[in-house]
Amino acid sequence: MAIVVSGVLCPICNKPIDVGKDFFATTAFLEANDPLYRFSDAAMHWECYLTWNQRSNFASCYAEVIEKEETSNPFWHRLLLSDELFVRYGEIGEVDILLLKLAAHVRVKAHNVAVWLQNPSSESRYIQAELNRLREQLQKINELDILGSPLARQKDRVEAKKKKFRL
């Protein structure tokens, strides 16, 4: 995640970010030669990000990197991939829900997912708006046996990866 301190400038409008307000940021995920590089690992005003003409391209690049990373990370397991959601389970006991059109994550404790899905929420009003829009799609997560058999079957895959990486 971008380190954001008072006075840092939004790379879209070049105005300061108010660290006391909601802002958008990602981790560093683009190579230095990428034209969108300066937006990676940077904080942006949500209003700027949502209306930015490169947002769709940026979000697609982010999703592609996260999806590739998941295949080589022994601690995260894909649960669901659709046009708008990428859901994975982390062995830290959390479910990570990536809202693909925004490149924004929501993390929920695995044992709280069913309750959270009854009223999906986020501290960010911008993420909340996207959760509301995707409410029906989010219910697909309820159909997954997050703590049950799908992950149990993946334990062999995890063990193989751990051996490969000598973890």
What's the predicted TM-score (pTM) here?
A: 0.80
The most distant pair of C-alpha atoms in the chain lies apart, rounded to whole Å, by 50
Q: Are 130 and 102 in contact (CB under 8 A)?
A: yes
Break the chain into its structural domains and give their ranges: 1-53, 74-165
User: How far, CA to CA in Å, does 144 sit from each of 109, 114, 148, 150?
Assistant: 15, 10, 9, 8
What does the pLDDT read at residue 149? 41
HSE of 132, CA atoms in CB hemisphere, 13 A: 6
Contacts of 165 (CB under 8 A, 6+ apart): 74
SS3 62: helix
What does the pLDDT read at residue 152? 41
Residue numbers of the chain with a pLDDT score lower than 50 = 149-153
Model confidence pLDDT, tens digit, residues 17-45: 988 888 999 889 999 999 999 999 899 99
